[in-house]
Amino acid sequence: MIEIRGVTQRFQSGNGTVDAVRDVNLSIRKGEVFGIIGRSGAGKSTLVRTINLLNRPTSGNIILDGKDMTTLSADDLRDARRHIGMIFQHFNLLSSRTVYDNIALPLELAGLSKSEIAKKVEPLLELVGLTALKNRYPAQISGGQKQRVGIARALANNPKVLLSDEATSALDPETTRSILELLRKINKELGLTIVLITHQMEVIKVICDRVAVMEAGEVIEQGEVLDVFREPKHEVTRALIGDVIAHELPKGVLARLRERLANTKDGAGTDHLFRFAFTGSGVDQPHLSEAVRRYNLDFNILHGQIDEIQGQAFGSLAILANGTPENITNAMNYLRAQGVVVEELNHVI
């Protein structure tokens, strides 16, 4: 649906240049919600703005539905842009226009008559739950309601793709959830492809099918959201996941553990610290107790969380295991064979 091929975006910066985006390759599938996450300055906004050519890439190509956007004439590009809606962190509504008139704006620009516009705007108001507020001005509605106007306006021209640039970053957690639910509903009901950028892993967790992680202009990791959560490969990804999944052990627990694990290193102890990550059936099945029984171990759960990602259960546990070296090895091999991701943490604390 969207092919981002070898895209680099170079800017002048002082006397030199900066590659805000460097040689990015991504394939975004029709009908999916694709997230791009990264820390501030990673290049997310710059990348997403190349998709509708608000930024013209210095090199590389953007192929939308088989059409190379970078080679279109000005007229064809204007046409192609109609198929791409966009929503923004600060909503970008016109304060002098009512809710209804903000949503109607792209249709007026496209030259539709008043009655044609009404036929499109009324169902959009219904879709985003703002029918009762249609005559209010932006100053008279909440942030979440403003973003609903932004979403309805972005959908007015029946786009194939919706780009979302930090659309929930200015909203409180509850409003964020309701906006994400609305985006998910639109994605499912209209089959709309959504590309969203965010610095919040929570947003990725709640709504995205796949995710790409950016750092210093490059994509450093990408995959199905569940896979990336279960087995993050890059340190930056781990840190971002740590914001939503209990990854760090509390300080008091760490201090006590250091002593016990030092004994293991010296050969005087038999404690091992592990992190287990498991999904789907791994959460429902008693793999842990089976491992304990089979290999005669003690497990002490130190920290953890069972959560849901994309409707699938996801668990992350920090465990202190005690047993003979042979039984520990066999138990971990057993768990790995059950699909549990096992990581020994003795060396990291």
Binding site for ligand ATP (CB under 6 A): 11, 13, 18, 20, 38, 40-46, 199
Per DSSP, the residues of 45-64 read HHHHHHHTTSS--SEEEEEE
> Of 13 and 324, which CB lies nearer to ligand ATP in the complex structure?
13
> Of 117 and 228, which CB lies nearer to ligand ATP in the complex structure?
228
> Of 60 and 106, which CB lies nearer to ligand ATP in the complex structure?
60
> Of 57 and 106, which CB lies nearer to ligand ATP in the complex structure?
57
Q: Min. distance of Cβ 169 from ligand ATP in angstroms?
A: 8
CB 91 within 8 A of CB 149: yes
CA–CA gap between residue 316 and residue 254 (Å, rounded): 17
Give how far the C-alpha of residue 156 lies from the chain's centroid of Cα atoms, to the nearest Å.
Answer: 25
Q: Min. distance of Cβ 199 from ligand ATP in angstroms?
A: 5
CA–CA gap between residue 333 and residue 256 (Å, rounded): 27
> Of 15 and 40, which CB lies nearer to ligand ATP in the complex structure?
40
CB atoms within 10 A of CB 122: 14
Q: Min. distance of Cβ 153 from ligand ATP in angstroms?
A: 22
For residue 88, what are the contacts with CB-CB under 8 A and spacing of at least 6? 150, 165, 166, 167
> Of 128 and 197, which CB lies nearer to ligand ATP in the complex structure?
197
CA–CA gap between residue 341 and residue 336 (Å, rounded): 6
Q: Min. distance of Cβ 38 from ligand ATP in angstroms?
A: 5
Q: Min. distance of Cβ 95 from ligand ATP in angstroms?
A: 24
For residue 4, what are the contacts with CB-CB under 8 A and spacing of at least 6? 24, 25, 26, 27, 28, 47, 50, 51, 60, 62
Q: Min. distance of Cβ 159 from ligand ATP in angstroms?
A: 22
AA identity, residue 205: K
Q: Min. distance of Cβ 207 from ligand ATP in angstroms?
A: 18
C-alpha closest to that of 56 among 20, 87, 90: 20
> Of 179 and 273, which CB lies nearer to ligand ATP in the complex structure?
179
